[in-house]
Structures are given as C-alpha cells and as structure tokens.
Amino acid sequence: MKLAAVILENFRGYSQSSRIAIDDLTAFIGKNDAGKSTILEALEIFFNDGKPERGDACVHGTGTTIRVGCAFTCLPAEIVLDVAARTSLSAEHLLNEKGELEIVKEWDSSAKTPKESVFAAALHPTNADAADLLALKNAELKARVKKLGIDESTVNLTINGSMRQAIRDACKPLTPERKLLPLDKEDAKKVWDQLKPQLPMYALFRSDRPSQDGDEEVQNPLKFAITQALKEMADDLKKIEDAVRLRAEDVAKRTLAKLNEMDTRLASELKPFFKADPKWDVFKFGLMGDNDIPINKRGSGVRRLILLNFFRAEAERRRTEKGSLSVIYAIEEPETSQHPENQRLLVQALKELAVDENTQVLVTSHTPGLAGLLPSDSLRCVRKQADGTAAVSHCNDDDLAVIANELGVLPDRRVQALVFVEGTNDIEFLERVSAMLKPDIADIVDFTNDNRVALVPLGGGSLKQWVAKHYLRNLNLPEVHIYDRDDATPPQYQPECDAVNARADRSWAVITAKRELENYLHADAIAEGLNGIAVTFTDTCDVPLIVAKSVHESSGSPKPWADVLADAKELSDKISRAKKRLNRDAAAKMTSARLVHSDGNGEISGWLKKIHTMLV
C-alpha cells in the first residue's frame, strides 16, 4: 500500500478536517511552529499505535473528538476475511469516493486516557438490509438471507462473503453514501485484522531538539532496522509461536492423562493459551565508535551524520532488494547540524529512496538551504493562519514567492549563465554525464561542481532554481535552452527555440536530434543501472515507456501490460519511475566510450563545450 493523503481534524493546529496530499517525496516547508511536525507526529500515532494526549485537541475547535485518517492507494487485489474465502475491498464497499482505502482513527480527548476507535471512511450501502453486513456473524447473515427470501441453494452458507454478496444483490439499489464504518466491533474486526499487517511501516526520525520531555535526543536507526527485520520475518516467528503452542498443548494433554488416572472428575480438558501475544522486540543494540565511545555521547553533528548515511545505505539496499516491505521514512529538519555538502548528499539519498516503488519519504524544513535542493512539486507550504490554525497547500508560483521571502532565499551571485531544461530528470542526466566527461574533456562544463552555471527545470524545479529563474532576471544573464524533440512535427518547442536564438544577449537554444535525453543512453548502461533490464530502441522510440514495460514484466506481477496501459494513473506512475531510474541509475553507468557510441554526432559534448565558453 502507498500513503496518498493524511487527514487531520481537531488535532493540535488543525481544527477543521484537512486533507494533506502525500507523494513519493513530500517536504513540508514553513516557519517554526507552523504545524509541520504535527503532521509527522500524527502519522507516528496512526501507524505505531500511539495515543494523543488530552491537550492535543485543537484549542480553536469546538468538539472533543480527535481524528487522524490515512488514505491509501496501490491496494491488495484480494483480502481474506472468512477462512480461505477471498474477496476485495471494492466488493465489500470499503473504498472512498476516490477509490482509496481511507482508515480513520479517533479518540475522545475529554477522557482521562483517550480510547482509540478505528473506522473505514467509505462509500457504503445505506439500504437498511445491506448497511451492516460486515458486522454480522455467520448465524446473523443466515437469518438475513432467510428474511430476504434468498434461495439458499444459490448461496454458500458456510462462507460469510458469499452471503454478504447475495444479500447485496437482493437489496439493490444499494444507494451508497460516505460513512464511517466501525472496524473494531463485532465481525468487522476481521477486516482490520487483515488490513493492519499490510499497512506501510512508518519510521519517524526527530530532530535533535526533542519535541517532548520524554523523547530521546538520539534516534538510533538500528531501532527501526530491528522492527523492519521482525516484520519481514513474521512468517518465521509465527512458526516459532505455533511450535511453542504445540509443545504447551502436548504438556497439557500428558498432564490431563495423568490427572485422569487419579480422578476423572477433576477435569475433562486442559487447554493452554497465551495470556498476551508474544513480544519479539526484545533486541537492544547500540552503536560504538572509536575508542569504544558510544555514539550517543558524541556531538549532534556526528549523530546526524550517522543518520544521513543510514538513509544513503537504505537507498542502496532497497534498490537492489526485490519484494521489500512498504516503508515511509519521515525525518524532521534533516539539515540540522550539517555542512551544506552533507545536506546535499542527504537530499540526494532521500530522493533516491523515494524512487523505490515501495518507499515514501517525508521531510520538514524551515531553512532555505534544504528547501532549495528539493523539487518544487514535492513541496507543501505550511502556514499559520490569522485565527491560529494551520493550513497546508501545494506550492504554486505564488506560494514559492512567499516561501522565498519567509525563508530568506537569496540569489547566488556567482551564477554567470542559466541552463533551462524541461524537467528535473533532465538535470539528473546532464549532471551525471557532464561529471563523467569532465576528466577526459577539460573544456566542458561540469554541472555538479561549477557554481557559475545554474540548471533550471521549466516543468517544476527546486526552490533554489525557481529563485534563480525569478530573481536573476535583472542580472542580464545569458540563457541556454535545451528542449526535447519528442514526436511532433515540427517540434513542439520550435517557436520558443527560435525566439531564444533571436536574442542578442549570447542566449541560445537547441532541440535534441533524438526524441529525448533518454535516447542518448547506451543500452548496456541501462542494463547495468537497472539490474539487468535489457531493451533495444531507436532514436525515435519512447525509451521510458519501453523500460517501464520491461520492468513490469520482469517483476512477476500477474497484471498483464495491456491492463496497465488501460489505467492512465498506473501507467503514468510507472513511466515516471522509469524516467527517474534511467536518468539516475542508467546515466550513472555511462562512460565516454558509451556516449560516443550512442551520440555519434557529439551533440551533448558540443552543448557542454559551448556552455563552458560562456563562463569566465
């Protein structure tokens, strides 16, 4: 499952129901005390069985009920609610109006110890005979079948799901409406029991400044590694539990046999049971550094540096491991106590983690250094409104201007030229290829190390790049525009290209001879960077689409590619992931020899040389 949104109501600064969209990489940007950490801590409560405190109810609200909801996509095709009978969330009418699984947890904050209630917010039948089916036991469902006069020979009366479907068929129209369905009462508990293990794991790494008096200052990544390992080994641990249970039952049987030898009236049955579910999180690890000094005794900068490299290691591990559990990593203020270069490495690691199909990354920040490294389409602007409540919005150009002023983002006056490309994937490609060529060709620009040039994605770039685009305009800097040819004739951006070339300020523009930058990748680099994905293509092929298809078919998914093509959202997601991996992993495997082979006319090296001549 993948988290699509978090919904907060009457929780701290969020008074009215607020739906906050979550992407693969999501960054909450805003001033201190705006409500950024509240979002991450609400998710900690939701995923890790926490409980809000009485003081967590919004002081601007009127009720006492706190609600934290999560909406999920990428849902399981089937679930098992009754013995081995399979059904689906859609068949049981458990999805909301967006086709998402929306789970809502609520607590009454007026109680001394707020008690949790769990619901599914769904478009559910309101027909009186079909509205309560998930809560009915087998005998109650049989009675409902009989009441409605359903032919019992057409229904499997031993399977609840069969009876529920027959009842719904007999009750049409079902007249569905959005409602909260209790999942912690009666037989509906089975739904929650099946869904809970499939939710993503959530790991919150707080900043060194504790949010509460009881919080540890050091968030040890080993703690999450242990939790993750235990969940991955759940099947093995269940076998151990079953073996212990069988051993206990054997002892009970032998004890009962001996007891009956003495007096048969004492007992006819002895049945062992677990007084509480076994707890496996008994492993305690620490980290020891040089001279056997515990890491938690080192400076905050060192501790955060270890955390930085935990994410870098996780990004590498999850790229190479198939079938990894779905995980959400949340980190507060990752820039804390770090040199700007370490911040850059950390953001790169988080971006790489977010590319993984089963991984999402959430961060908070109130400093321009980190905000400037993040893609603008990942940014969420968090502001405290005039009435004291919090509000979250996607960042548009107006929001970016406000953020730039609030966070104190300034233009980099070392910049001598601006290079405009269509998107952030193009930046990934050009940075890797220019860095690869620089040792062999001295007179080209290396975008990764040359502060005299700024790459600007026109299709939604980072805050720093946006600032360059908006605030460097009056510096009279020459511009370079590189546009994809794509498959239109004439090329879609030919007029813009001609307009730039008509300027008299040393600006120039080109349109790629091939379809797009991915077509300049060598097939061997793609195979090495994407774990053996072998593809063939021409200069005019849609390479990301070809790679997305190959990755899907090699994943073992039972879903035919034709069905993916019919699902616009899923197809778009798969192509987007393919583009990210091509421009990151495959581009990293490019060599001078491979580029000469795939770019026989030397287009790319020609661009880089020409840009180099613009710098002094």
CA 552, 558, 560, 563 torsion: positive or negative? negative
Question: Has residue 82 got a pLDDT over 90?
Answer: no
Asked if residues 412 and 499 have their Cβ atoms less than 8 Å apart, the reply is no
Reduced to 3 states (helix: H, G, I; strand: E, B; else coil), residue 392 is strand
**436-460 b/e with 16+ CB inside 10 Å = b?**
bbbeeeeebbbbeebeebbbbbbeb
Tens-digit pLDDT profile for residues 596-609:
999 999 999 999 99
Question: DSSP secondary-structure letter at 110?
Answer: T
> 211: pLDDT confidence band, cut at 50, 70 and 90?
very low
Task: Read off the pLDDT of each residue in 384-398 and give the average, rounded to a whole number.
Answer: 82
Question: Has residue 281 got a pLDDT over 90?
Answer: no
How many Å apart are CA 34 and CA 22, to the nearest integer? 18
Tens-digit pLDDT profile for residues 560-584:
999 999 988 889 889 988 998 999 9
Q: What is the pLDDT of residue 122?
A: 96
Question: Has residue 511 got a pLDDT over 80?
Answer: yes
Q: What is the pLDDT of residue 314?
A: 67
**What is the four-CA torsion angle of 542, 545, 551, 552, rounded to 10 degrees?**
-150
Q: What is the pLDDT of residue 366?
A: 77
Asked if residues 44 and 35 have their Cβ atoms less than 8 Å apart, the reply is no
Question: Has residue 374 got a pLDDT over 80?
Answer: no
pLDDT above 70 coverage of the chain, percent: 77
Cα angle, residue 381 at apex, residues 2 and 344 outer, rounded to 5° = 75
> 269: pLDDT confidence band, cut at 50, 70 and 90?
low
Q: What is the pLDDT of residue 209?
A: 43
Q: What is the pLDDT of residue 147?
A: 94
Lowest-confidence segment of 4-8, 67-71, 278-282 by average pLDDT:
278-282
Nearest one of 113, 114, 121, 244 to 179, comparing CA atoms: 121
Sheet strand arrangement including 25-29: 201-205, 327-332, 359-365, 25-29, 379-384, 390-394
pLDDT above 90 coverage of the chain, percent: 42
- Average per-residue pLDDT in the chain? 82
Sheet strand arrangement including 479-483: 453-457, 417-421, 479-483, 508-511
**Count of CB atoms within 10 A of residue 15's CB?**
23
- Please, is 106 exposed, middle or buried when counting C-beta atoms within 10 Å of its C-beta (0-12, 13-18, 19+)? buried
Q: What is the pLDDT of residue 474?
A: 56
How many Å apart are CA 360 and CA 351, to the nearest integer? 9
Q: What is the pLDDT of residue 272?
A: 63
Tens-digit pLDDT profile for residues 444-464:
999 988 888 988 777 644 434
What is the distance of C-alpha 468 from the center of its chain? 29
Token output for 399:
């929001």
Question: Has residue 300 got a pLDDT over 60?
Answer: no
Query: 177: number of CA atoms within 13 Å, CB side?
Result: 6
Domain boundaries, the chain: 2-23+37-201, 417-613
> 471: pLDDT confidence band, cut at 50, 70 and 90?
very low
Bond prior to 173 in cis (omega within 30° of 0): yes
Q: What is the pLDDT of residue 12?
A: 93
